[in-house]
Structure 1
Amino acid sequence: MAAPDRIARARLEQALLLLARQHGGDEATAHAAKTQFERWRTLSADHAAAAELALRAWESTQGQGLQDRVALPGPYRESKPARRRVLAMLGVLGIGLAAGTGAQWYWQQALQVLALQTGHGEQREYDLHDGSRLSLAPHTRLEVRMMRTVRQVQLMEGMMYVSVSKDPTRPFWVETPQGRVRVVGTAFSVRVSPHALQVAVARGQVTFFPHRERDQRIDLQAGQALRLDADTPATRVAVNPEQVGAWRLGWLVFDQTPLDKVAAQWNDYLSPALNLADDPRLHELRVTGSFRLRDPRAFLDSLPGILPVQVQRDAKGAWQVSLKK
């Protein structure tokens, strides 16, 4: 396995080469190079950080030793002289990656690191280093790394709502098992379960980059949500932006939500749990409505009036939902 320093240096070298191509050749060559650079920087948070550092380095040196010298060959193929010029530029910049200084310091030094987790029925809020605000729903586990060139949250499970402080030079990435979400200044929520993902936007815009090859990148505006599970392609749906993250204000809001997913959300707060009978027809039922978190009994009492079901307590005291007989 390659050492982290070598991987970091290789990314920075690639970013400089892609950037240098934009300043050599004719207009068509420069345009193609810019398109390739912008696509490359969205591949991951590490690519975005490398691109940002390369841009800063270019501005500070005016591309010394590289301008008008690097043509546009095939993707990711560079001549040895071109690579030698990039390496020389790294020396001019004084970026001592091997020694862990210069670019590596900008790139990898964390200004804030958090490992956060919530338990049953627990909600928590955190103010991040950049002014962003992070809200966690119950049963949520994530890690935060705030760096000089990139902001990262890795959401392993649960649901969060983020109000992101706008900073065009430092994108905000959310990494999930199903894909990556990229934002600049936005308010949005992300919910992760073992086989599903939901992203909903209250304000601004986000871009989702799925891990699955069959799904393309998806741009979401305020009032839009993305739903993705193991069996179906990613789909974009309309939502009320004022209801995104409503659980923070004491409400659970459902819009044609399958009954099993409704039960799962209530079970983040309920004790004893709400269970569905072993009947596949129950999974076809859907719920629409807004319900107060502090009054789950009102939801349970209203459910038979919404759907053809009955709600009873079992021998262990848990709530059981079954079809009406």
Structure 2
Amino acid sequence: MSIEDDVDAPIGTLEEQAADWIVRQDGTVLDEAEQSAFSEWLAVSEHRREFDRQNAIWQRYRRMASLPIREENSARAYPANRRTSRWRPAPSAIVRRSAVPAIAAVLALAIIGSTENWPARLRADYSTGIGERRSIALPDGSVATLAAGSALRFDQSDGARVATLLSGAAQFRVAPDPHHPFRVETDEGSVTALGTVFTVEERAGEPEVIVLEHSVAVRTSSGAKAVVREGESTTFTAQSVARPVPSDALAATAWTRGKLIVSNRPLSEVVAQLGRQRRGYWTVRGEAANLRVNGVYDLDHPLDALAALEKTLSLKSIRISNMFIVVSR
């Protein structure tokens, strides 16, 4: 559901309905019509269970944020005679209705614990938190630089050095040792260093490899192979390797220096990368998601970067503190 959706459209899922009622009551008093609709909705047992579950989580998040809901540049005109129903927000709650997709998503994230990838972190020898970058000296003398929210395991056995990237992204500067190959393992396949500096990023089943020095050999789980040379990048799945293409390696690895350099990238992608530098949930809704962005942004100050984007592109945002932000046009 988008901020730009018709305000008369019914709220779809039970999770979103519960989130809508939580948003409406947060810091305000329901009017008589809203209270009647809420009571009718809450009378259904599965509605009550979902509301209680999400409200308990939401109150924990509100205590963490300790700031009231703030709405920016979001005034809109609505017809005075619009119809209301138990599935639709009353006029006094229309602006807050815009935040429902973000609230529902945040509650879901809290429920499944995905704001921190704990399964990966528990399996890792090295990990970074939200907004943290760290360079690590591995036991073999190589250096791994981890991006925010990354997890890495390292093992030396059977004549090989194996770094398993469990989540996130890492840049590797490999210590020379021709008798003990250095290999990075992912769920989709492996990347073997041929005396090199390179990065590997896990991206929804399609890892990306960028080579800064020398070359690497990529081998997928199904046996497909490719060599990626200095100045090239590629992606791969468990079945295949994409053809390597020229890459601006310095720009692509700017995150290791605390910068985000983008050229003609969609706003949704840029905001997602900035959002990974902080706890919470940042997203872009409606047509603004496809706006193309160019620029250099400071990953250590993501709020300043987002403010610059809002000003430059004439955007607006709905915020619950600075943890949960929905950007639109």
Query: Shorter-normalised TM-score: what interval?
Result: 0.5 to 0.7
User: 2:27: which partner in 1?
Assistant: none
- CA gap of 1:257–1:200, structure 2 versus 1, over 3 A, is farther
- CA gap of 1:303–1:179, structure 2 versus 1, over 3 A, is same
The aligned runs of 1:99-248 (5 Å cut-off) are 115-147=125-157, 149-211=159-221, 216-228=224-236, 234-248=242-256
CA distance in 1, matches of 2:170, 2:257: 13
- Structure 1, unpaired ranges of 5+: 1-112
Q: Which moved more, 1:115-124 or 1:261-270?
A: 261-270
8 Å Cα contact 2:188-2:238 kept in structure 1: no
**SS state at 1:248 partner:** helix
Equivalent residue letter for 1:211: S
8 Å Cα contact 1:120-1:138 kept in structure 2: yes
Deviations 1:26-64 (A, max 9, x none): xxxxxxxxxxxxxxxxxxxxxxxxxxxxxxxxxxxxxxx
Query: Which of 279, 295, 298 is matched with 1:289 structurally?
Result: 295
- CA gap of 1:212–1:254, structure 2 versus 1, over 3 A, is farther
Give the greater-gyration-radius structure (CA): 1
8 Å Cα contact 1:312-1:319 kept in structure 2: yes
Deviations 1:9-37 (A, max 9, x none): xxxxxxxxxxxxxxxxxxxxxxxxxxxxx
* Alignment: residue pair count: 206
CA distance in 1, matches of 2:226, 2:251: 21
Query: Which of 244, 267, 278 is matched with 2:275 structurally?
Result: 267
- CA gap of 1:187–1:266, structure 2 versus 1, over 3 A, is same
| 2:306 maps to 1:300 | yes
Equivalent residue letter for 2:244: R
Give identity over the alignment, percent: 27
Equivalent residue letter for 2:268: D
User: 1:312: which partner in 2?
Assistant: 317
8 Å Cα contact 2:275-2:302 kept in structure 1: no
- CA gap of 1:168–1:118, structure 2 versus 1, over 3 A, is same
Deviations 1:237-266 (A, max 9, x none): 322233343222111122444433323321
Deviations 1:138-188 (A, max 9, x none): 111121012362110111110111101122222111111122101131111
Equivalent residue letter for 1:274: W
8 Å Cα contact 2:283-2:326 kept in structure 1: yes
Equivalent residue letter for 2:281: A
- CA gap of 1:313–1:259, structure 2 versus 1, over 3 A, is same
**SS state at 2:250 partner:** helix
**SS state at 2:168 partner:** strand
CA distance in 2, matches of 1:200, 1:243: 11
Runs ≥4 in structure 1, deviation > 6 angstroms?
229-233
- Structure 2, unpaired ranges of 5+: 1-122
8 Å Cα contact 1:123-1:138 kept in structure 2: yes
Equivalent residue letter for 2:157: M
8 Å Cα contact 1:228-1:234 kept in structure 2: yes
Deviations 1:96-115 (A, max 9, x none): xxxxxxxxxxxxxxxxx971
- CA gap of 1:254–1:178, structure 2 versus 1, over 3 A, is farther
Give TM-score, length-normalised by structure 2: 0.55
CA distance in 2, matches of 1:224, 1:276: 30
CA distance in 2, matches of 1:287, 1:226: 22
- CA gap of 1:272–1:232, structure 2 versus 1, over 3 A, is same
CA distance in 2, matches of 1:219, 1:286: 32
